[in-house]
Amino acid sequence: MPKFSANLTFLYTDLPLLDRFAAARKSGFTGVEYMSPYEETKSDLIARLSDNGLTQVLHNLPVGDWAAGERGIAILPGRVEEFRRGVAKAIDYASALGCGQVNCLVGVAPKGADAKELHRTLVANLAFAAGELAKAKIKLLIEPCNTRDIPGFFLTRTDQALRLIDEVGSDNLFVQYDIYHAQVMEGDLARTVEANLPRIAHIQLADNPGRHEPGTGEINYPFLFGHLDKIGYAGWIGCEYRPLTTVDAGLGWMKAYRS
């Protein structure tokens, strides 16, 4: 039976972040994830998790200046020290929140940058982060993202992520497999997950087109959920979609999977 976590960055966006925890619990979720915890105090976040009986499933490493278009800094040669400070901050928050995995958005390639230099920087940064997070017993994840939603994003396909993991050579580096991004870039969802299951630590979902809830687009989610059960995927599935109308109005798809 799939375990679904609410991505609070995408859901309940009419509420302040700290109020979204109770809304997620009321909707029937038992886990939450979100991009950035760093704007809130650890004590406030811990209280919201505890008060609502929620598991902190995932959050990201610091991504740089989101408002300015940055989507991670791990590829940027001039930002290595900032990246390392972000790793320490992520460990501090994840340890306090009981969060066992942290995702790294690698970043958008600057125009005219040397792709080989960006790649070398990324490999070195991931090796550092994977090692530091391993000491804290926290998994490091990397997420391929589609270039329609994030033009210029450096990591775009599952096979690229797997090669990167091999090059880094850490047993504490895994794929965060976002079904929506993968459908846009490559398709072949069921086979890809099955073939690489040991290296996939977390899955996220949204339908395509529109990035709305399952059942609003082309992806056969009942088949995929059954397939994930069949192949033994035991992790969480993060609901990272924009509700077509409201969150609760669009949760009919999840009723069949509630215990």
What is the reported pLDDT for 44?
98
What is the reported pLDDT for 256?
81
Domain edges within the chain: 3-13+29-257
**Alpha carbon distances (Å) from 227 to 21, 201, 223:** 30, 16, 6
Catalytic (active site) residue 240 = yes
Backbone phi and psi for residue 143, each to the nearest 5 degrees, phi listed first:
-125, 115
pLDDT in tens, 193-208: 999 999 999 999 999 9
* Catalytic-labelled residue, pool 40, 132, 218, 240: 240
Report the amino acid identity of residue 145: C
Superfamily of domain 3-13+29-257: Divalent-metal-dependent TIM barrel enzymes (3.20.20.150)
Cβ burial of 195 (10 Å; 0-12, 13-18, 19+) is middle
Q: In whole angstroms, what is the distance from residue 75 CA to residue 152 CA?
A: 12
Beta-strand ranges (E) seen in 63-135 are 101-104
Low-confidence residues in the chain, pLDDT < 50: none
Question: Using an 8 Å Cβ cutoff, are 219 and 189 in contact?
Answer: yes
Backbone phi and psi for residue 124, each to the nearest 5 degrees, phi listed first:
-65, -40
Backbone phi and psi for residue 59, each to the nearest 5 degrees, phi listed first:
-145, 175
* Catalytic-labelled residue, pool 143, 194, 213, 218: 143
Q: What is the pTM of this model?
A: 0.96
Catalytic (active site) residue 143 = yes
